[in-house]
Structure 1
Amino acid sequence: MKNLNRFLMMLALVGGLTACNDQLNVVNPNNQTTYDFGESETELQEAVIACYNRIRLEGSFARVGYTMDAVRGDEVWNSSQQWYLEYDNLNS
């Protein structure tokens, strides 16, 4: 009985250590991956539109956002005496 328990324990230990270690890599056919995206012209246009969509919106990185960023440096200046002049009327 003692040898049987040792044998079963060794069998379980060897079976546990030699279990398969392959990972399940299943690709979802309903979603695009980075490997197959951008193969056609329309997909590349979609990618460019997605990149520039946030820049186009007012209040983000559009005209006002760029000017707000450029005001910090020497690229934009106010040529009048109105310090409260709107960002759209600044000289660049």
Structure 2
Amino acid sequence: MANIKSAKKRILVNETKAARNKSIKSAVKTAIKKVDAAVVAKDKAAADAALLGAISAIDKATSKGIYHKNTASRKVSRLTKAVNSIA
């Protein structure tokens, strides 16, 4: 355990940021699972709605620095491709 006051503060701040990041990543994963479930069920309307929500969640996470922009782009591309495969 740290003895210096600034080091103790760093530990607390890092725990807070890690919890925030974990929460946002979890929300993104849930949104992606909803899209995948709709694709498996071949429900085009539900998949389109879920896709919009997932893209929004991914973009928010990216703007907050949780995902790299290329990672976000890759996730969106794969989801869009999956939804378009329903046709």
TM-score, reference length from structure 2: 0.27
Asked which structure has the greater RCO (Cα within 8 Å, sep 6+), the reply is 2
Higher gyration radius (CA): 1
TM-score, reference length from structure 1: 0.26
- Which structure: greater helix fraction? 2
